[in-house]
């Protein structure tokens, strides 16, 4: 489903006529702005599995106060997990606690200076990667956002906000969105303290 198809799905929900092109639509600028805002909001608010990437980060020469800096990818939206490698001869990375790193100046900053790997939600330009539930959630959220402009109705907005949250719940039940328990598995604090004290 393309950008135009998702926008048309939102318009259909509102009982509005579909558009053939963003160049011809009366509210084309608004549609495109809302589409991009809703897409990035959904990707950064919920860790959708189709948008999660893993990447090793390069350590920069500069420091952030007394912390080492690792450049985040250009398509970065949301940090999920950080792993460290305590031994250069060992390929395994260990999960670290969120208390042991921060994000600053477009970088992960940490006291640890070895190799770092992250799981993160990426900004996606190719709409064909979206799952069907993500597309439908986008359309519902767009309909809610457009309800005040096109219908001047708080009730209609609330209807589509409710539909949106129901779709998010369904995506969570379908395991399309990573669960919070996955962020820090049981016993991880033991491994973390061991990794940082080595």
Q: Can you give the pLDDT at residue 195?
A: 40
SS3 58: coil
Average pLDDT of the chain, as a whole number: 85
The separation between the first and the last C-alpha atoms of the chain, rounded to the nearest angstrom, is 50
Domain residues of the chain, as ranges?
Answer: 3-47+126-173, 49-124+181-197
- When pLDDT is cut at 50, 70 and 90, the band that residue 71 belongs to is very high
Question: Which range has the worst mean pLDDT, 127-131, 141-145, 159-163?
Answer: 127-131
Contact 100, 145 (CB under 8 A): no
Calculate ∠ Cα 168-169-172, nearest 5°: 90
Contact 109, 101 (CB under 8 A): yes
Largest Cα separation within the chain, whole Å, is 63
Q: How many CB atoms lie within 10 A of CB 157?
A: 17
Strand partners, 104: 107
Condensed to tens digits (0 to 9), the pLDDT of residues 151-185 reads 999 999 999 999 999 999 999 999 999 876 444 44
Q: Can you give the pLDDT at residue 114?
A: 81
d(CA 76, CA 52): 10
């Amino acid at each position: 489903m393309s950008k135009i198809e998702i926008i048309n799905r939102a318009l259909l929900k509102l009982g509005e006529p579909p558009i053939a092109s963003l160049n011809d639509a009366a509210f084309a600028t608004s549609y495109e702005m809302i589409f991009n805002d809703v897409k990035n909001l959904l990707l950064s608010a919920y860790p959708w599995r189709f948008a999660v990437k893993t990447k090793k980060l390069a350590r920069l020469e500069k420091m952030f106060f007394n912390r080492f800096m690792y450049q985040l990818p250009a398509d970065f939206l949301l940090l999920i997990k950080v792993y460290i490698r305590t031994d250069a001869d060992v390929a395994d990375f260990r999960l670290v606690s969120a208390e042991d790193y921060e994000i600053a100046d477009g970088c992960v900053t940490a006291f640890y200076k070895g190799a770092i790997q992250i799981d993160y939600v990426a900004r996606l330009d190719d709409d064909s990667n979206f799952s069907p539930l993500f597309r439908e959630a986008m359309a519902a959220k767009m309909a809610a956002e457009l309800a005040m402009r096109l219908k001047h109705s708080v009730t209609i907005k609330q209807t589509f906000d409710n539909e949106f949250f129901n779709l998010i719940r369904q995506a969570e039940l379908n395991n399309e969105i990573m669960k919070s328990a996955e962020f820090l598995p049981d016993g991880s604090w033991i491994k973390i303290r061991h990794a940082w004290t080595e």
